[in-house]
Structure 1
């Protein structure tokens, strides 16, 4: 057993950029994770039990925001910032093509995978909508329309809904998890440059609605902003408990509801595909991992299977709950669209927990790159904090706390949505019971995923 643990530590500490989130795993295996997993599941279960006895309007009150006053958005400033980000993105793509091949030195992989994918997505989900200011297509689209005066030649088909963005995000997740070298600067430059131009064509053909429904990154960021503390509505800036905007937003369409589930499913498989369990299923020795090129097809199929299974199980819990609640059953599609956004706090919590260690290590590469660009003192990259149990315990507890908090918020949101939809407390509790059990089980699964050995 000691040999396996030490081998896991060695592999984790010598892994490449963006696989550093497994670096503390050797010490995590020594923690009493079974007790923490049990405590997390019990915490979520107690939350469910309390909803059956607490006053009906309490959960809605927890998410009631308060206004901080009106805010004026200067669209010219917003468009200028967007254009600046677009120019910066163009420079990053150029550096990806002609710059150093080391992903720890080239600024493109650092910007995409550390600053954007870990940092900005987390800020968007926790704090507020920063994407509306830095969206790299908005400023260019406004500029093109100002110079040409042309209107979009095509009307976006209503039947498409958000399904193009669903396919786009699945492609993004597949590239992240199955491509042999997603951090290779040249390879990443081609992908980023092609995607930016393809989405600009979509904006030119269909107008801004393409960004709102068809462009996966914008839909991702607009979806996660529903979980953030700060929101803007009708010119007013408000702050409330995480998830309050889920209750205030219009009911999601079927495509957007599926997008919410796929955020969670893809994030979950992003952890599963690195575990000894998954590699064992594929017949691969985790201590002699042959490389990512061997698992391209299995990871793609696993990604699709995980998302499909999650959608099926989530839908089944809603179907069973509606029959437990009694009365005239509501259409399953309407229930799916109503409750799917309550999964967002869990998806965001998994994102934060999964990439926390990567951010602590790879963020140092970002700071080092900034120091070099500003001709400052060279910074030393260190993973030494992963070599002692104390910091590892703090990291793991933070990850576990994020996962548990995400599930508790999701349960409260689902209950508040059921109450606001006109269900009495009894009907809301009975109708949400299968979904609550699913969330308890998913809590245990998520905490196990944090603690289980990894080999890829």
Structure 2
């Protein structure tokens, strides 16, 4: 919700040209990738890796330090959310939650590697308590995490959790109660692997990162190397979660623009029965926009799988094709996240460091940086690079799935069309003037 406070420069070229250029970049990249038909070269890039020096000798001490840090930070976040300063830029609760967990930690995850499993304070607490009283229903897969992610986005929009520390602390207490109860009833592994939205989010973002830990060593691959593994997407719920990652960033960006503000005001001001207040109508509008937009993004991808199967004339089912091409969307989600939250992280990083180093006596007037002017270009580049990585990954996966080179290329066209649509929408959003979301004061 702090995106609306970031200055945005006026475009120096017509918006239609700016959007067409962005979409054409993706289309041209897909066309160029289609000329790479040497399976040996594609397989070489797919399998390239480098094993870094062993970390087993010092890994366990790091794990214990990280677990202690995670639990301590959670306790301080809740405590200072209630008794600490209520100024957002001085509040440890808000800085840790939004500058840290919402912005900085995902950036570290997809650019370096996933450290959330050892930092996760709820998992640390649940691992030392008796658990596993009931068996997790396997048929649910990751659908609870999908609902949880959309629910967290809804709470972030509707309630002042990003501006009022006490409200945020209450939300964290409720999240803690639900998470610990579920982890103790079903066991930490099923809960954090399938239900907890934060754990699933960091696991998926970690698939984009170049570093992964395997049996006491750190393995380095090309960015997005793990996206080509078949176990990244194993169910329709995984596809739904990945698309929720893409949509929630698009949604949060849209409602903090002038176009989003105008759209919401127009709908809320339509003639409704007089007993329904404007605030209630606004909550309904924000909720409907969240769900309707998500369904549109999901339906577009789902239909692309059907078109892909029809274009290739293959015996492979549309469901298998959808599973195969879903993981590249994680590169798009990472690019969206970097474009939306890199500026926020840079702005609040000095205040976050001060709050962490002196949590009980934070400065009353913390330092907040202004991102340099070239950050606008960086945001555009982040979106385009994420899509380019997705295009190449889809190209590689197409050759893994289809024996025919022509079928491998044709299968990608519908998904590239969806990626172009996602690109144009996101580029359009970051080109709009910022605005405070109405009716949420």
TM over 0.5: yes
Partner of 1:414: 394
Cα offset for 1:55?
Answer: 2.5
| Paired residues, number | 423
Q: Are residues 1:67 and 2:50 paired?
A: yes
1:262 is aligned, of 244, 248, 255, to 244
Structure 1 Cα separation of the partners of residues 364 and 161 of structure 2:
27
SS in 1 for 2:81: helix
Equivalent of 2:142 in 157, 162, 166:
162
Which residue does the alignment assign to 1:288?
none
Equivalent residue for 1:141? 126
- Is the Cα–Cα contact under 8 Å of residues 305 and 319 in structure 2 kept in the other structure? no
Find the counterpart in structure 1 of residue 326 from structure 2.
Answer: 340
- Look up the match of 2:68: 83
List aligned pairs for 1:16-415, cutoff 5 A.
Answer: 19-20=2-3, 22-25=5-8, 27-30=9-12, 35-57=17-39, 58-69=41-52, 70-72=54-56, 74-75=59-60, 77-79=62-64, 81-144=66-129, 150=130, 152-207=132-187, 208-250=189-231, 251-284=233-266, 295-328=282-315, 330-370=316-356, 373=359, 381-382=367-368, 385=370, 391-392=372-373, 394-415=374-395
Partner deviation per Cα, 1:91-150 (whole Å, 9 max, x = no partner) = 210111111221221210110011111000111111101112211123222322xxxxx4
Normalising by structure 2, report the TM-score.
0.88
* 1:262-296 Cα deviation digits (max 9, x unpaired): 100111111111222222223359xxxxx988732
**How many Å separate the matches in 1 of 2:107 and 2:236?**
25
The CA distance in 2 between the partners of 1:284 and 1:365, in whole Å, is 37
The Cα shift of 1:79 comes to 4.4
CA distance in 1, matches of 2:86, 2:293: 33
Corresponding residue SS for 2:50: strand
Q: Provide the rounded CA distance (Å) in 1 between the counterparts of 2:426 and 2:83.
A: 40
Aligned to 1:430: 410
Taking only aligned residues, the RMSD between alpha carbons, in angstroms, comes to: 2.7
Deviations 1:220-257 (A, max 9, x none): 11111000011123444211221111112514222122
- Contact 1:68 1:237 (C-alpha < 8 Å) held by counterparts: yes
Stretch deviating more after TM superposition (294-303 or 54-63) = 54-63
Corresponding residue number in structure 1 for 2:274: none
Q: 1:432 to 1:376 in 2, by over 3 A?
A: closer
Structure 1 equivalent of residue 435 of structure 2: 455
Give the CA deviation at 1:370: 4.6
* Structure 2: stretches of 5+ with no match in the other structure: 268-277, 437-441
Q: CA deviation at 1:337?
A: 2.3
| Contact 1:79/1:138, CA 8 A, preserved across alignment | no
**Do 2:4 and 2:434's aligned partners in 1 also have CA atoms closer than 8 Å?**
no
Q: 1: distance between equivalents of 2:349 and 2:228?
A: 34
Q: Does the CA contact (< 8 Å) of 1:59 and 1:415 recur in 2? A: no
Q: Give how far 1:151 is off.
A: 5.1
Q: Distance in 2 between matches of 1:427 and 1:134?
A: 44
Q: Which runs of 5+ in 1 are unaligned?
A: 1-17, 145-149, 286-290
Looking at structure 2, the residues matched to 363 and 81 of structure 1 have their Cα atoms a distance apart, in angstroms, of: 20
- Cα distance in structure 1, aligned partners of 2:199 and 2:310: 37
In the other structure, the counterpart of 1:14 is none
Q: Distance in 2 between matches of 1:300 and 1:365?
A: 32
- SS of the counterpart of 1:232? strand
